[in-house]
Structure 1
Amino acid sequence: MKTAAAQHSTRVAARTPKRRRATDLRTALIFIAPALVGLIAFYLVPTIRGLYLSFTEYGLFGDPIWVGLENYTKLFADKLFWNAMAVTGEYVVLNIAFQTVFALGLALLMYHVAKSTLIRGIILLPYLIANVVVALLWFWMLDYQIGIVNQVIEWMGLPRIAFFGNETWAIPTIAFVNVWRHMGYTALLLFAGLQAIPRHVYEVAALDGAGPWKTFWKITLPLLRPILVLVLVVTVIGSFQIFDTVAVTTGGGPVNASRVIQMYIFDKAFTEQEFGYASALASVLFVVIGIVAFLQMKFLRGNESELD
Structure 2
Amino acid sequence: MNTQLTAPESTVSTARPRTQRGPRPAAGNALLRARRRALLPFAGPAILLYIAFVFGPTLYSVWISFHETSGYGDSKWVGVRNYTRLLSDDSYRKALFNTLELLVIGGGCTFVLSFALTMVLREMRGRLLARNVLFFPNIVNAMVFGVLAGFLFNPDGLVNTLLHNLFGVTDPPKWLSAENTFPMILATIIWTATGYYTTIIMAGVDQIPAYFYEECALSGANAWQRLRYVTIPLTWEVLTVCALLWTISSVKIFELVLVFGGNNSGLPPTNTWPVSMYSYAEAFGGLGSVPRYGMASASALTSLLLVALIVVVLRRAMDRRDSVQY
TM range (shorter): 0.7 to 0.9
1:153 aligns with 2:163: yes
1:295 aligns with 2:309: no
Aligned to 1:43: 54
Aligned to 2:12: none
8 A contact 1:91–1:171 mirrored in 2:
no
Letter in 1 for 2:111: T
CA RMSD of aligned residues (A): 2.2
Identity within the alignment, %: 26
Aligned to 2:9: none
After TM superposition, give the deviation of residue 253 of structure 1 in Å.
4.3
After TM superposition, give the deviation of residue 257 of structure 1 in Å.
1.7
Aligned to 1:171: 182
Counterparts in 2 of 1:149 and 1:94: CA distance versus 1, 3 Å: farther
1:270 aligns with 2:295: no
Of 293-302 and 273-282, more deviation after overlay is shown by 293-302
Instruction: Give the structure with higher Rg (CA).
Output: 2
| CA deviation string 1:232-272 (max 9, x = no partner) | 12112211111101111113644x22021111110001114
8 A contact 1:95–1:175 mirrored in 2:
yes
1:257 aligns with 2:271: yes
Gapped regions of structure 2 (runs ≥ 5) = 1-21
Aligned counterpart in structure 2 of residue 65 of structure 1, from 71, 76, 85: 76
Equivalent-residue separation in structure 1 for 2:35 and 2:321 (angstroms): 29
| CA deviation string 1:99-119 (max 9, x = no partner) | 112222222233221435333
User: The residue matched to 1:305 in structure 2 has which SS?
Assistant: coil
Of 34-43 and 95-104, more deviation after overlay is shown by 34-43
After TM superposition, give the deviation of residue 274 of structure 1 in Å.
0.3
Equivalent-residue separation in structure 2 for 1:40 and 1:303 (angstroms): 35
Letter in 2 for 1:147: G
Aligned to 1:103: 114
Counterparts in 2 of 1:17 and 1:227: CA distance versus 1, 3 Å: same
| CA deviation string 1:113-158 (max 9, x = no partner) | 1435333222211112112222332233222x23212222333233
Aligned to 2:303: 285
**How do residues 173-252 of structure 1 correspond to structure 2 at under 5 angstroms?**
173-251=184-262
Aligned to 1:6: none
8 A contact 2:142–2:259 mirrored in 1:
no
Equivalent-residue separation in structure 2 for 1:302 and 1:270 (angstroms): 44
Equivalent-residue separation in structure 1 for 2:102 and 2:157 (angstroms): 23
Letter in 2 for 1:99: T
Counterparts in 2 of 1:304 and 1:48: CA distance versus 1, 3 Å: farther
Aligned to 1:7: none
After TM superposition, give the deviation of residue 58 of structure 1 in Å.
1.7
TM-score by length of 2: 0.83
Aligned to 1:305: 323
Letter in 2 for 1:246: V
User: The residue matched to 2:235 in structure 1 has which SS?
Assistant: helix
1:19 aligns with 2:25: no
After TM superposition, give the deviation of residue 303 of structure 1 in Å.
7.0
Q: How many residues align?
A: 295
Aligned to 1:5: none
After TM superposition, give the deviation of residue 43 of structure 1 in Å.
1.4
